[in-house]
Amino acid sequence: MKFKAIVCDLDGTLLNTEHTISKNTIDTIKKITDQGVKFFIATGRHHADALRFKDMLGLDSYLISSNGARIHDENNNIIFRDDIPQELSNEIFNTEIDPEIHKDVYLEDNWFLEIPLEEAHDYHKESGFTYTVTDFSKLHGKEIIKFFYIHNDEKKISKLEKELLEKFGDRTNVTLSLPICLEVMNKDVSKGHAITNVLMPQLGLKKEEIIAFGDGLNDYEMLKSVGEGVLMGNCNPRLKELLPNNKVAKPNSEDGVAEYLKKIFL
């Protein structure tokens, strides 16, 4: 059977190594959506950031952002939100973190961090979405969409992952979008939860009618919740270990999503 819906991660998946969408991919998705197939973005990025890529593709569909903490409908209205409660967010703010690790938060329409991170601009040059440097003490008492931590030393991130899982694992979803980026959302937040509990019931979709693509550990629940979960050739080795029997597309550097979809739809 042909799938009725496609759900796709952005970084490391739909986006190429230049952090944008190639013309080949845009043209391929246009041909497929013209057939009536729905295409959904599901990303760890902030909604305001991901919206640029939805517009590039000319999509008329829901958008899952912040790993499922936000879902917007076709008209850009919020239809689902699940933030980290104030008391828990304060605990996370007060947790001692290696000072070399960049600490970031999404709060409503903003991306805050304490110290400038120039390399982050490479990931967001297409959308123009950028951060504001602020004193995190000013954010205490707020409900937070997502905390995330960035460092080029994967060992530091791995160590922090274990520490946060030990301390908050029963109250949050702690996951990796990239080996150098650790993300923390409210307990039940995930892309898979967004698909199963919002997309499927609201749009009348069945599990077997959905195909999804991802490369990071934050895609794990999504790839398990659909009829066919496809790993990217460049995916995190830990994701491959968790889903050893899933099909694998070419890497994002080779337009893996587009090339895989051509074989199914075109």
- Supply the residues annotated as catalytic: 9
Token readout for 98 is 């290696």
CA–CA distance, 118 with 116 (Å, rounded to integer) = 6
- Indicate if the alpha-carbon torsion angle 157, 163, 165, 168 is positive or negative: negative
Q: What is the DSSP string of 2-56?
A: --SEEEE-IIIIIS-TTSS--HHHHHHHHHHHTTT-EEEEE-SS-HHHHHHHHHH
What's the Cα-to-Cα distance from 237 to each of 41, 53, 244, rounded to whole Å?
23, 26, 10
Burial of 34 from C-beta contacts in 10 A (0-12 / 13-18 / 19+) = exposed
Contact 43, 247 (CB under 8 A): no
Token readout for 251 is 């890497």
Token readout for 95 is 């947790």
